[in-house]
Amino acid sequence: MSLRRWDDDDADSCSEGGGVKRYDSTSDSDYGSNESSESSAETSDTYTSMSDSGSESGSDGQGGTGYVDLVYERLQSLHAHGTVPRKDFTKYAKKGMSAKRVKAAVTKPCCTCMCKLPVKILYQLCVAFWSLTKQSQDSCLWSIQNESGGNIKKKQWYMAGYPVCRDSWAFMLGVGKHRLSRCRHTFQGRDGRSLTCRGGPAAPPSVKSASVTNFLIHLYWTAAESMPTAILSKTTDKTSDDALREELLQRLIDCKLMVATTQIAFNQSPSRLALRELPHGCWSNVYLLYAAHCRAKQECPASKSTFFSVSLAWRCCLRFHKKTQHSLCAVCSRLKMLIRNSKDLKSHAEYSDRLLTHYSQTLQDRQIYWCARDRARLHGDILVLIIDSYDKAKVCLPRFPFQRTPKKPIYDRIRRTTMTLTGCIVHGVGVFLYLADEGMGTGANWTLEVAMRSIDRAYGILQAKNAPFPAECWIQGDNAVKEVRNSYTGRWASLMCQAGFFMGVSHHHLMVGHTHEDIDGVFSIVTSALNAMMDLQTPRDVQRTLVNRMRPLFARSNLVFDCEIVDTIRDWCTLMPAGATLKNCYRARKGDGEGNDSYAVPQSFTFMVREGMPGGGVGIEMDDNVPRRLRSEGRSKDVFAMVKAAMSDQVLSQPPILVYPHSYLPATQSFVNRINSTTLTMNASLDESRSEELSDLANNIEQDFPHLQRGANYLRSLVNSERARQPFPVLNFIEAGPSASSNLHEFRLGNRVLPPKPYKLQVVYRHALAN
């Protein structure tokens, strides 16, 4: 919507007792108005000024008559600096932009002044004004009253060019007269500091507070991590517990799974950010780090009082790890120790700068993963999975009343059974949780089973949507060697590439101590869902609770959620052909003892067939030496591993190395044919001593808590090794064969045809020089 700019020739027509100034017919046609423009007299000494926010006003001088006009263009330009989401409107904003109130303001004015402002124009102005933030509204009211100049008692007030009195102007806009007077003298900025002074020059901006805020923003997105123990920061809204929990859970899903997190919003309120945790420490250590950071940049740091006053607003979304939780980063711990023990300012600033550089490195690694998941969600040409396991101690069955262990020796001596809960996020597709009884192995076999079932679920969902199956697979995991980071995952990735299911398979890892990501945000929702239920006795109760409470949340974001109980898994380590063993780069070694920040082990592994590499691998330095007995005529199915020290590195730490030669192709095809029909399986099993403990525990629970009968029966079923087991499901994408993928590597355009060269410059030499 656009309104015609009113000219200086129309100024005198807006004076008291004059005609009513209107827009011409072309402008009114936007609102459906048929009113014609009336004639206006010319003015001789008024002028038009344009402010930074796009406003216009005329003035006769400081002591003369000024004009106050609120036009739509001004409000439209302020919208570029930030608006309030519709769900966060206050009751005052909702009332201010109410169509009923706007209509009543025009039809029943508060005074007898002549006002013929169309309702539709006023409604558009009110909606645009009340959609702004509080600071933008105050700055707009301050600027239009001070830019016009003139005596306040002689000002002429206009609403979109229609003359009104001051009281009607405030009444129609929905602001109070006292607020209008207050904003004429002062208004506050984002940090709550007054940007103007009554009767004096404008106050200087709070540079030190802004410096602290920028540092905390940088710290939030680099060193802080999402944890599985908490949901989000609490707000101060007076809402019920259920409504608050619902809002926080949905906000977490929107923040971690749906938005483009590669773009960091620096003007976002800390109360609207997800809760993150900093490494072990305290706020005094953070201030020392901030002070050293400022001195390294040759800037004067803020005082302690300013730092701690600004940090109070960030403590709702930033807190520190507890001393007994989570692994420590060796680099962070060593640099913090050097900072505390530094003797002079130079060494203090140097170590602090190295620590911030380390934090920046972690942010760059996270951004690589964020870009991959955004690519999977927006374009769908890559399958991105992140896999992690939940804390077993939080899923103990059966759950006692009020989650309190009874005061009886047997309950303190014998621990209840725990369940394995592993989550997998397939970005752009869904979130899948897998439950297993106590005794199920949680090593590479379990992780590969979870990955294959998640890929198969993604294949079925994409087939139902008639969407192509991606040709690349990206697996994100932590640094635990029992899950993703091991040689079995590398062997499985090589087999998937050589069999033709993917053009490339990669698994990546963040630095030790900085591995918490969006999967831990999902686990925080799991924690909230489980804590809300008091009667959890069997795995079916856990499954039903998670599905009922979490599936509607993800359905709003167009994500599929499911929780599956796993009884039988394949023995992948035995099923995969052991033609090659990958070693020497998975488990961390001791450092060199000199305090270097180099990585002990690489963090990024990519497996790709030769025919999928640029140019078929021609002209690329490779380490493709294999024994004579493994050499074959064909080399297109050779699988190479490309290793990087960190996810964000631009170069490889070593040349691409051949891990699965083409001669292994028959064994790979035999492996694929046996996946859905293998008899090499694994089930949960308990030793004899543990079985006796669970039997005694079941008898005592049945006697002391009769209402936990189902839980006691479940404990007895774990002891029974002859109980019925649910077989593993058939993987449909394996049955479909390698044609399930898009096989983009089989379609090549070849080298591009070079454009014809232009005419060459030629020189002809003469026998004699011209005079």
User: pLDDT tens digits, residue range 565-597?
Assistant: 999 999 999 999 988 888 888 877 665 444 444
What type of residue sits at position 11?
A
> Does 180 share its domain with 216?
no
Domain count, the chain: 3
> Does 337 share its domain with 441?
no
Q: Which of 153, 185, 217 is the last residue of a domain?
A: 185
Q: Which of 121, 152, 185 is the last residue of a domain?
A: 185
Tell whether 201 is covered by a domain. Answer: no
Closest listed residue to residue 41, CA positions, set 64, 17, 57, 71: 17
Instruction: Decide: helix, strand or coil at residue 239.
Output: coil
Q: What angle do CA 492, 453, 464 make, to 5 degrees?
A: 120
Q: Which of 309, 337, 364 is the last residue of a domain?
A: 364
> Does 245 share its domain with 296?
yes
Tell whether 168 is covered by a domain. Answer: yes
> Does 127 share its domain with 155?
yes
DSSP readout, 621-672?
Answer: --B----GGG--S--TT-EEEEEESSTT-SS-SS--EEEE-GGGHHHHHHHH
> Does 388 share its domain with 358?
no
Tell whether 695 is covered by a domain. Answer: no
- The neighbour count for residue 691, using CB atoms within 10 Å, is 17
User: Residue 528 contacts by C-beta under 8 Å, 6 or more apart in sequence?
Assistant: 231, 245, 249
- The pLDDT score that the predictor gives to residue 29 is 34
How far apart CA 628 and CA 147 sit, in angstroms, is 86
Contact 678, 572 (CB under 8 A): no
What type of residue sits at position 765?
Y
Would you state the torsion angle of the CA atoms of residues 317, 385, 380, 499, taken in this order, to the nearest 10 degrees? 170
Tell whether 763 is covered by a domain. Answer: no
> Does 317 share its domain with 459?
no
Closest listed residue to residue 105, CA positions, set 2, 184, 175, 31: 175
Contact 480, 298 (CB under 8 A): no
How far apart CA 446 and CA 444 sit, in angstroms, is 5
395: left (phi over 0), alpha (psi -120 to 50) or beta: beta
How far apart CA 570 and CA 443 sit, in angstroms, is 12
Task: Please state the three-class secondary structure of 508-560 as a single string.
Answer: EECCCCCCCCHHHHHHHHHHHHHHCCCCCCCHHHHHHHHHHHHHHHHHCCCCE
- Listed as ranges, residues in the chain with pLDDT below 70 are 1-65, 80-82, 112-115, 148-154, 186-205, 226-268, 322-327, 589-599, 615-619, 634, 739-751, 769-771
Structure-block tokens of residue 564: 């599956």
> Does 165 share its domain with 218?
no
Report the relative pairing of strands 568-570 and 604-609 from DSSP bridges.
unpaired
Tell whether 3 is covered by a domain. Answer: no
How far apart CA 320 and CA 322 sit, in angstroms, is 6
Instruction: Decide: helix, strand or coil at residue 162.
Output: strand
Tell whether 762 is covered by a domain. Answer: no
> Does 278 share its domain with 146?
no
Beta strand spans in 60-144 (E)? 67-70
How far apart CA 221 and CA 753 sit, in angstroms, is 45
> Does 353 share its domain with 296?
yes
> Does 387 share its domain with 285?
no
> Does 117 share its domain with 265?
no
Give the burial class of 627: count Cβ atoms within 10 A of its Cβ; 0-12 exposed, 13-18 middle, 19 or more buried: exposed
Give the burial class of 250: count Cβ atoms within 10 A of its Cβ; 0-12 exposed, 13-18 middle, 19 or more buried: middle
What is residue 432's DSSP assignment?
E
Tell whether 320 is covered by a domain. Answer: yes
Q: What is the largest CA-CA distance in the chain?
A: 124
> Does 295 share its domain with 410?
no
How far apart CA 146 and CA 748 sit, in angstroms, is 66
Tell whether 716 is covered by a domain. Answer: no
Cα separations in angstroms, 511 against 390, 393, 477, 650: 19, 25, 11, 17
Contact 743, 500 (CB under 8 A): yes
User: Residue 252 contacts by C-beta under 8 Å, 6 or more apart in sequence?
Assistant: 231, 232, 274, 521, 524, 525
Q: What angle do CA 617, 618, 621 make, to 5 degrees?
A: 75
- State which residues form the domain around 96: 8-185
User: pLDDT tens digits, residue range 24-52?
Assistant: 333 333 333 333 333 333 333 333 333 33
Structure-block tokens of residue 449: 């089973």
